Amino acid sequence: MEKFLPAEWATQEFVQLTWPHADTDWAYMLHEVTECFVNIAREIVKRQQLLIVCVDAEEVETYFSDDELQRISFAEMSTNDTWARDHGGITVFENGKVVVYDFTFNGWGMKFAANHDNQITRKIYQSGIFEAYGYKNCMDFVLEGGSIESDGEGTILTTAECLLSDNRNNSSREVVEQKLKDYFGAKQVLWLDHGYLAGDDTDSHVDTLARLCPNNTIAYVKCDDETDEHYEALKKMEEELQSFSTLKDGGSYNLIPLPIADAVYDEDGERLPATYANFLIINGAVLLPVYNTEKDAIAIAQMQKAFPKHEIVPIDCNALIKQHGSLHCVTMQYPRPLTPKGE
């Protein structure tokens, strides 16, 4: 069977958001985080369809205009949290047919409850929203969307700290790599053994650190401040990225550094995982998390180099990092020909 995991910049049909509510960890700042979700949603519906998973569609509808609602579908169900990147389906092309793979989500190595979120993809499929294509139960393998990057041409980029975690699959690098090749038709898996962000709960998801971009390019977090706790680890990660070879011609990747975001701390003095690498690519645009600092402008300019044909749309994500994620973490894209029911 010929299969591949499409790149995020492949043409999309819709994006999934899983909406925050009062029974999630967002309860204490629900208004603030909802404003951020609304901003993300509005940018998406300017360009494509949006699927919102939520506990109360009537309540969520009140945030949008009638015109915006024309491009929004809702799926009502119980949810633990909002991190659609990690509980959402991962879409694979099998002999040209689009199939949603449903992997186990166990709360990032059993750190948090995921009993509802682990059922979301199956329930969406059963509701008929994924009507245009297939569904594959992959519950024998723990995998989060934020832990892998694909260029759509046979390369997967990931981190050893996450995929080799004892509380996920408890398997060797060789076994996990073969699983990735079998599931996604990958021809090479690039492993990062270094790099982390303080305050991250995911065991160093790659989408917080280094991202595959078109034309054999990788955008990655770079730290130039030797006094920053991340300096050594990110320097070693940069050296690893410099050593990687492309499948196409065996040459080096074009590396575009993103500044490490200025340190942000919570009320307990813990550093939060602010990162510019956690961007979302949609049709014609890149939604870039920003944090209202001078470094935002640098990140925007660097992202424009990686995506010269896309509009770079900055979105304030200071709310999201308070629960240890950012923009990419709360979204999951579904490539065409996936079509939400009722379109």
pLDDT tens, the chain, 343 aa long:
899 999 999 999 999 999 999 999 999 999 999 999 999 999 999 999 999 999 999 999 999 999 999 999 999 999 998 999 999 999 999 998 999 999 998 866 556 566 888 899 999 999 988 888 799 999 999 999 999 999 999 999 999 999 998 888 888 999 999 999 999 999 999 999 999 999 887 778 999 999 999 999 999 999 999 999 999 999 999 999 999 999 989 999 999 999 999 999 998 999 999 999 999 999 999 999 999 999 999 999 999 999 999 999 999 999 999 999 999 999 999 998 744 444 4
pLDDT at 338: 43
Alpha-carbon dihedral angle through residues 122, 128, 132, 135, given to the nearest 10 degrees: 20
Q: Six-digit token pair at 172?
A: 């060797």
CA distance 329 to 325: 6
Q: What is the layout of strands, in order, in the sheet containing 90-94?
A: 3-4, 90-94, 97-104, 134-142
User: What's the pLDDT at 118?
Assistant: 83
Separation between Cα atoms, residue 18 and residue 38, nearest integer Å: 12
Q: Are 117 and 80 in contact (CB under 8 A)?
A: yes
Name the pTM for this structure: 0.95
Radius of gyration of the chain (CA): 19
Instruction: Supply the pLDDT for residue 131.
Output: 80
Listed by start position, the domains of the chain span 3-335
What's residue 108's pLDDT? 60
Check residue 309 and give its pLDDT.
Answer: 96
What pLDDT, on a 0 to 100 scale, did the predictor assign at position 296? 98
pLDDT at site 1 = 86
- What's the pLDDT score for residue 116? 87
Architecture of domain 3-335 in this structure: 5-stranded Propeller (3.75)
For residue 247, the model assigns a pLDDT of: 95
